[in-house]
Amino acid sequence: MLDNCPKCGSLFVRTQFRDVCDACYKEEEKLFEKVYAFIRKRENRTATMPQVVDATGVEEALIIKWIKKGRLQLVHFPNLGYPCEKCGATIREGRLCAKCIGGIQKEMTKIQQEEERQRQAKRQTTYFTERRKDG
């Protein structure tokens, strides 16, 4: 699909593997190598996201992109993570933190219980008719 690069605006062919133009992709690769070289060092493996950003100058959004794409394996870097899409808490996998998932599951359970209550109420509805006495 033909698209404009979100970084520089130039025209490029977007694929499932590339979301930026070739020039920006090459620049991102240089930045990736810089980040990876930093966190790969034994003394930096426990660095937090702000520490990595400060040390490398690479923006957090780009590092999060690499984590979500699986280019940076968090199993090797215990203090790295990215924000929950609902509350912003730091997480290491998925899109939501455990607290937000629990809250959504509670809400779903309430909705299902209410729907079941309404179905039961419909089945138990009794209709009465009034008989007229002619006479």
pLDDT tens-digit series, residues 39-83:
999 999 999 999 999 999 999 999 999 998 889 988 889 999 999
Answer yes or no: is pLDDT of 135 > 70.
no
Question: Does the reported pTM lie above 0.85?
Answer: no
Burial call 15-31: b when 16+ CB within 10 Å, e when fewer: eeeebbbeebeeebeeb
CB neighbours of residue 72 within 10 Å: 19
User: 18-22, 25-29, 40-44, 127-131 — which is least confidently predicted?
Assistant: 127-131
Q: What is the pLDDT of residue 122?
A: 79
